[in-house]
Chains A and B, each alone.
Chain A
Amino acid sequence: MIAVTEQKKEKAYRLLKSSALLQQIMFRYMMEGQIASEEGNLAWVTSGFPVEIPVAMNIGISYPEQYGAVVGSQRMGPELCGFAEGLGYSQELCSYARSSIGSVKHPDQSPLGGLPTPQALLACNNICGTVLRWYDTVSELTGAPVFLLDTPPLEGEQPEHHRDYVRKGLDKLVDFLEQVFGKPLADERMQEVALYSTEAVGLWTQCLEACKAKPSPLNCADRFLTMAPIVSLRGTDYVKDFYVSLLAEVKERISNGVGAIKEEKIRLLWDNIPPWFTIFRFFNGLAKRGVVFPADTYTHAWTGSIEGDNLFDSVVSIYSNVYLNKGLDAKIDKMCQLIQNYDLDGFIMFSVRSCKRYSLGQLVSKELVTERTGVPGVVIEGDMVDSRLFNEAQIQMRVDALLEMFA
């Protein structure tokens, strides 16, 4: 068997051995969500929600945005978004929201039979304002109450009054969860969950930073897939196991001089959520041409550790200061840092039609990032889930033209 495998032509990109463990852990996540729902103990949360608090209260968790990625990957986006559009929602609305609403209306026609029914909906608007209205709609359809953790956008340093305001929101969150689920928050359990979260985030951060190596041990699609547990399972005791395994594989690749792709020639930065419906075709297609993405702005969003004497203060700081909650200057700074620290040759900004919060200001950012770093970039347009908004020929031409600049 081994001999036969070795004789096969080596692919332009390399599969991660940790993928098998990833599948197992994500299967467990889904099963636990299902059981929690059946027990009347499930909350849906947004990707930037301080999930450690409900986890510490032993409440089950499901992530509609992660489900949106599943819908996209299974190329069900147009169909599920279409259900929401049939209800009157605009095609301009976030395709995660549309596919989520569509799947709640038609679970029998949705991947995995839809997400398990929630008993509470926890939205934090640090990633966008749409999440609140999206969850309001799901609330109308399921009867689950909505809690909004309001984190007003930040420009520069977080002022004290901003911290106090978000902190009060966390206290209200605990009251809300106690009321809905009838469970108290124990300090010891919160400390335990914060530790699990911090350990996993630390390992994940090491995996990301390892991509400074040449060749890069991980490509964009690798990170977008392996970020699933850090998004969905922060604060659980078993999430760490996966990142220990991933980091070991990453280190092994580096020590053997093995990259994520066979022949690394051009190193690029990726900005925004990926087009889930064509993620492998897109990134592996570029891998065949020697293009690797050692860094992106998206997967670097989950790198804050909950530490210190006052865990809630730490939570306030991390979740208020996420990438999407800050001004354009902070985003441009981040892109420039990544380009410099990861020694990148250029960048691709994906303008996601239905994710206005992430895509706003990209044209200006592109100019400023090029001005400051001296590397070229390109903006391509499409969507994360709704493949009807993705024109391959137009994207191909822009990407090809960028690559020709390196010739």
Chain B
Amino acid sequence: MGGHTFGIGLDIGSTTAKGVLIDETRKILAQHIQSMGASAAAAGREVLGVLTEVSGVQASDHKIVGTGYGRAMIEKSSENVTEITCHSIGVNSLNPDIRMLVDVGGQDSKVIRISSGGRPTDFEINDKCSAGTGRFLEVMAHVLEVSINELGPLALQSESPSKISSTCTVFAESEVVGRIGSGDSPADIAAGVHMAMASKIGTLAKRVGIIKPVGLTGGVALNPAFRHYLSENLEAEIWIPELPQLTGALGAAILALQ
């Protein structure tokens, strides 16, 4: 077999499972995001089912490249590639000018330097501590009694962000409770939470070396307050793809075509 007619990328992450099916021109015929659930294998099967249904192409008959923490559990993948490489390739296909990518997922955050060919040349990951991940925002949203989707817009209402420690989700949670007790407004606390997270990821990014414009992907890219504070912290314009959660799966699908 030479080049493939269709390519499928499955990104089985810690919080969500994502899938993309493309044709040989890299046109997206189907895409899907769903919650992970307890089984990576089951999530992979479900995503494949949706891709098949939407595109009319029997996904399991074509080459599948798996990525994400659950990549080894994908039953029908022909190859497993890390999300570092897949995000680089996916982002490069959407915006070839991006040389530095920040990807913030549910379980970790990554900063990747991308070559002109779309391959990663250096990266840093924060995965021992949840203070720079989507999980951090989820915990804080819970404490502030708002949904995760409401947290960002709430933070943008702030004029005087609270100071929140950027070191640890557990301690930051107690700190937020303390701020509530001190009478800080939910908007100010929410803004402080985003600033703390942007500072944490900013440190990671500065280690790799900032090259503007900076790309941002992962579920947290959907949060407008995080985008704002990251841009402020890095002093850089932030570029975000239309579907920032799908770039890993897109990169995997492009690799499947090759």
Interface residues of A (CB under 8 A from B): 363, 367, 370, 376, 378, 381, 391, 393-394, 397-398, 400-401, 404-405, 407
CB–CB B207/A401 < 8 A: no
- With a cutoff of 8 Å between Cβ atoms, the chain A residues found around residue B108 in the complex are 394
CB–CB B84/A401 < 8 A: yes
- With a cutoff of 8 Å between Cβ atoms, the chain B residues found around residue A378 in the complex are 123
Sorted nearest first, the 5 A-B pairs with minimum C-beta distance are: A401-B84, A401-B82, A404-B85, A400-B82, A394-B127
Q: In the bound complex, how far is the Cα of B128 from the Cα of A294, in angstroms? A: 30
Q: How many residues of B contact A (CB 8 A)?
A: 16
Provide the B185-222 mask, 1 if CB < 8 A to any CB of A, else 0. Answer: 00000000000000000000001000000000000000
A-B contact pairs, 15 of them (CB 8 A): A376-B121, A376-B122, A381-B128, A391-B128, A393-B69, A394-B108, A397-B69, A397-B82, A397-B83, A401-B84, A401-B85, A401-B120, A405-B120, A405-B121, A407-B119
- With a cutoff of 8 Å between Cβ atoms, the chain B residues found around residue A367 in the complex are 207
- With a cutoff of 8 Å between Cβ atoms, the chain B residues found around residue A393 in the complex are 69
Determine if B154 is an interface residue (Cβ-Cβ < 8 Å): no
- With a cutoff of 8 Å between Cβ atoms, the chain A residues found around residue B84 in the complex are 397, 401, 404
Q: In the bound complex, how far is the Cα of B84 from the Cα of A398, in angstroms? A: 9
Determine if B139 is an interface residue (Cβ-Cβ < 8 Å): no
- With a cutoff of 8 Å between Cβ atoms, the chain A residues found around residue B128 in the complex are 381, 391, 394
Output the least CB separation between B18 and chain A (Å).
17
- Nearest neighbor of B80 in chain A, beta-carbon distance: A400
Q: In the bound complex, how far is the Cα of B11 from the Cα of A270, in angstroms? A: 30
Q: Which of B84, B121, B207 has the most CB of A within 10 A?
A: B84
Determine if B125 is an interface residue (Cβ-Cβ < 8 Å): yes
CB–CB A401/B123 < 8 A: yes
CB–CB B207/A363 < 8 A: yes
Provide the B104-138 mask, 1 if CB < 8 A to any CB of A, else 0. Answer: 00001000000000011111010110000000000
Q: Is the interface of B mostly helix, strand, loop or mixed?
A: mixed
> Contacts A370-B122, A393-B69, A398-B125 given: A404-B81 contact, CB under 8 Å?
yes
Interface residues of B (CB under 8 A from A): 69, 81-85, 108, 119-123, 125, 127-128, 207
Q: Which of A370, A405, A407 has the most CB of B within 10 A?
A: A405
A-B contacts counted at CB < 8 A amount to 37
Q: Is the interface of A mostly helix, strand, loop or mixed?
A: helix
Q: In the bound complex, how far is the Cα of B123 from the Cα of A363, in angstroms? A: 12
Q: In the bound complex, how far is the Cα of B126 from the Cα of A391, in angstroms? A: 13
> Contacts A363-B207, A367-B207 given: A404-B82 contact, CB under 8 Å?
yes
- With a cutoff of 8 Å between Cβ atoms, the chain B residues found around residue A404 in the complex are 81-82, 84-85, 119-120
- Nearest neighbor of B81 in chain A, beta-carbon distance: A404
- With a cutoff of 8 Å between Cβ atoms, the chain B residues found around residue A405 in the complex are 119-121
- With a cutoff of 8 Å between Cβ atoms, the chain A residues found around residue B82 in the complex are 397, 400-401, 404
- With a cutoff of 8 Å between Cβ atoms, the chain B residues found around residue A401 in the complex are 82, 84-85, 120, 123
- Nearest neighbor of A389 in chain B, beta-carbon distance: B128
Q: In the bound complex, how far is the Cα of B132 from the Cα of A164, in angstroms? A: 50
Q: In the bound complex, how far is the Cα of B207 from the Cα of A272, in angstroms? A: 21
Output the least CB separation between A289 and chain B (Å).
12
Q: In the bound complex, how far is the Cα of B128 from the Cα of A401, in angstroms? A: 17
Output the least CB separation between A329 and chain B (Å).
19
Q: In the bound complex, how far is the Cα of B85 from the Cα of A407, in angstroms? A: 11
- With a cutoff of 8 Å between Cβ atoms, the chain A residues found around residue B69 in the complex are 393, 397
Q: In the bound complex, how far is the Cα of B125 from the Cα of A139, in angstroms? A: 42
- With a cutoff of 8 Å between Cβ atoms, the chain B residues found around residue A370 in the complex are 122
Output the least CB separation between B216 and chain A (Å).
19
> Could you list 11 further interchain pairs (A-B, Cβ under 8 angstroms) beyond the known A397-B83, A401-B84?
A363-B207, A376-B122, A394-B127, A394-B128, A397-B69, A397-B125, A401-B120, A404-B81, A404-B84, A404-B85, A405-B121
Output the least CB separation between B63 and chain A (Å).
17
Output the least CB separation between A387 and chain B (Å).
15
Output the least CB separation between A368 and chain B (Å).
12
Q: In the bound complex, how far is the Cα of B122 from the Cα of A376, in angstroms? A: 7
- With a cutoff of 8 Å between Cβ atoms, the chain B residues found around residue A363 in the complex are 207
- Nearest neighbor of B208 in chain A, beta-carbon distance: A367
Output the least CB separation between A290 and chain B (Å).
16
- With a cutoff of 8 Å between Cβ atoms, the chain B residues found around residue A397 in the complex are 69, 82-84, 125
Q: In the bound complex, how far is the Cα of B83 from the Cα of A194, in angstroms? A: 53
Q: In the bound complex, how far is the Cα of B108 from the Cα of A381, in angstroms? A: 14
- With a cutoff of 8 Å between Cβ atoms, the chain A residues found around residue B83 in the complex are 397
Output the least CB separation between B207 and chain A (Å).
6
Q: In the bound complex, how far is the Cα of B103 from the Cα of A62, in angstroms? A: 49
Output the least CB separation between A118 and chain B (Å).
37
Q: In the bound complex, how far is the Cα of B119 from the Cα of A407, in angstroms? A: 10
- With a cutoff of 8 Å between Cβ atoms, the chain A residues found around residue B123 in the complex are 378, 401
Output the least CB separation between B165 and chain A (Å).
20
- With a cutoff of 8 Å between Cβ atoms, the chain A residues found around residue B127 in the complex are 391, 394
- Nearest neighbor of B113 in chain A, beta-carbon distance: A376
- With a cutoff of 8 Å between Cβ atoms, the chain A residues found around residue B125 in the complex are 394, 397-398
Output the least CB separation between B12 and chain A (Å).
12
Output the least CB separation between A335 and chain B (Å).
16
- With a cutoff of 8 Å between Cβ atoms, the chain A residues found around residue B119 in the complex are 404-405, 407
